[in-house]
């Protein structure tokens, strides 16, 4: 009888051991070096694109995902005396100055920066190099407006008009990254404290606030069965609705509002973590990330877009991606300095 118990324990431990072991058994003729990259949980890459780098430099690239962007950044900061990795990828402009102030990166002026427009290079010391960007914009459900014979909104100003009463859902900037980005868009456009007046009007127009993008986009947005036809999401959401449709469709069912000042641009950066033992390899990886192969892989893997102007986009994006020409701008320094006050004031006006 007790034999059974031991067999069960044995089997279970084997399962556990196999799982913990299968990451470490890699054999090649010349022992390859290992490069470790710390990133957030949305990171993704094609197998071929990674293989190309690994084969070219005889290196094993290992990824550590450390939660959402904010969590990953905080972890990198707290681990700066004994870094977990050689590279950190995925810090955005809302967290950038926190990390720069902590000095977690080593400066590296990659030659590929020549192909990247200056507007993305927010860190003039080149501790953090821009890799990709995504715009947080309002999306609307096209069919709703056709069915109801309404003109969809075109600017932020439109949203406070009576015909858009009860129609908008946004995220809480305290808990959601697109929520914060949209708040920053209104701050960039209306200034401080002008943005608070704007939000007062939105509240009067019965704007709905939820905590997360998932609830806003997949539950409250009319496109997913909810009752609100206007939602804060990404500029890229409409083309992805085509790519990831249930049944193939020719046109996006949603559209993004990209007029001047209506969107906020999130730029993601990568940097070499201070104290790396693999500086040469780390530089090569940064160059690779900024080069066309990786840059062209970005959109379909991570739903954001390349900063390298030589990177070519997939046909669907060329056709359906609306990129704002003049997104709203708030500098990383201002964001870090005022984040708490802005969110507190917003909370007072919108949630109390």
Task: Please report, as residue ranges, which positions from 12 to 51 form the binding site for other proteins (by CB under 8 A).
Answer: 12-13, 15-16, 18-20, 23, 36, 41-48, 50
Helix, strand, or coil (residue 284): helix
Q: Which of 105, 140, 182, 234 binds other proteins (CB under 8 A)?
A: 234
| End-to-end CA separation in angstroms for the chain | 64
Q: Nearer Cβ to other proteins, position 41 or 119?
A: 41
Is 63 near other proteins (CB under 8 A)? Answer: yes
State in angstroms the smallest separation of the CB of 111 from other proteins.
26
User: How far apart, in whole angstroms, are the C-alpha atoms of residue 207 and residue 212?
Assistant: 15
CA distances from 309 to 116, 235, 290 (A): 6, 18, 10
User: Judged by CB under 8 A, which stretch of 106-114, 119-127, 268-276, 336-344 contacts other proteins?
Assistant: 336-344
Site for other proteins in 257-316 (CB under 8 A): 300-301, 303
Q: Is it true that the peptide bond before 144 is cis, omega within 30 degrees of 0?
A: no
Nearest to 304 by CA among 36, 40, 72: 40
Residue (33 or 74) nearer to other proteins, CB: 74
Name the nearest CA neighbour of 106 among 122, 128, 121. 128
If the CB atoms of residues 113 and 167 are measured against other proteins, the closer one turns out to be: 167
Regarding 54 and contact with other proteins (CB under 8 A), the answer is no
Say how far apart CA 184 and CA 173 lie, in whole Å: 9
Q: How far is the CB of 158 from other proteins (least distance, A)?
A: 23
15 by Cβ neighbours in 10 Å (0-12 / 13-18 / 19+) ranks as exposed
Judged by CB under 8 A, the residue of 60, 65, 150, 205 near other proteins is 65
250 lines the binding site for other proteins (CB under 8 A): no
Question: Minimum distance between the CB of residue 66 and other proteins, rounded to whole angstroms?
Answer: 6
């Amino acid at each position: 009888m007790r034999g059974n118990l031991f067999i069960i324990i044995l089997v279970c431990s084997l399962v556990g051991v196999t799982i913990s072991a299968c990451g470490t058994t890699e054999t090649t003729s010349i022992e390859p070096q290992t490069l470790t990259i710390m990133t957030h949980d949305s990171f993704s890459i094609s197998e071929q694109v990674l293989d190309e780098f690994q084969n070219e430099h005889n290196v094993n690239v290992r990824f550590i995902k450390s939660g959402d962007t904010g969590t990953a950044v905080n972890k990198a900061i707290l681990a700066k005396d004994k870094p977990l990795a050689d590279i950190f990828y995925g810090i955005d402009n809302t967290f950038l100055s926190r990390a720069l102030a902590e000095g977690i990166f080593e400066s590296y002026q990659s030659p590929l920066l020549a192909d990247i427009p200056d507007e993305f290079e927010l860190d003039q010391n080149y501790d953090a190099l821009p890799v990709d960007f995504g715009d947080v914009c309002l999306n609307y459900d096209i069919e709703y407006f056709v069915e109801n014979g309404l003109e969809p909104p075109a600017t932020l100003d439109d949203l406070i008009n009576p015909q858009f009463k009860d129609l908008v859902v946004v995220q809480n900037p305290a808990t959601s990254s697109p929520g914060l980005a949209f708040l920053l868009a209104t701050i960039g456009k209306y200034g401080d404290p002008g943005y608070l007046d704007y939000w007062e009007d939105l509240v009067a127009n019965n704007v709905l606030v939820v905590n997360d993008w998932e609830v806003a986009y997949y539950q409250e947005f009319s496109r997913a069965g909810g009752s609100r036809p206007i939602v804060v999401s990404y500029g890229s959401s409409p083309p992805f609705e085509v790519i990831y449709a249930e049944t193939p469709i020719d046109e996006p069912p949603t559209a993004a509002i990209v007029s001047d000042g209506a969107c906020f641009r999130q730029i993601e950066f990568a940097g070499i973590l201070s104290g790396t033992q693999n500086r040469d390899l780390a530089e090569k990886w940064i160059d690779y990330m900024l080069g066309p192969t990786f840059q062209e892989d970005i959109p379909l893997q991570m739903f954001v877009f390349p900063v390298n102007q030589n990177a070519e986009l997939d046909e669907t994006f060329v056709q359906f991606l609306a990129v704002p020409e003049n997104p709203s701008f708030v500098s990383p320094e201002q964001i870090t300095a005022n984040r708490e006050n802005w969110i507190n004031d917003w909370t007072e006006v919108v949630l109390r």
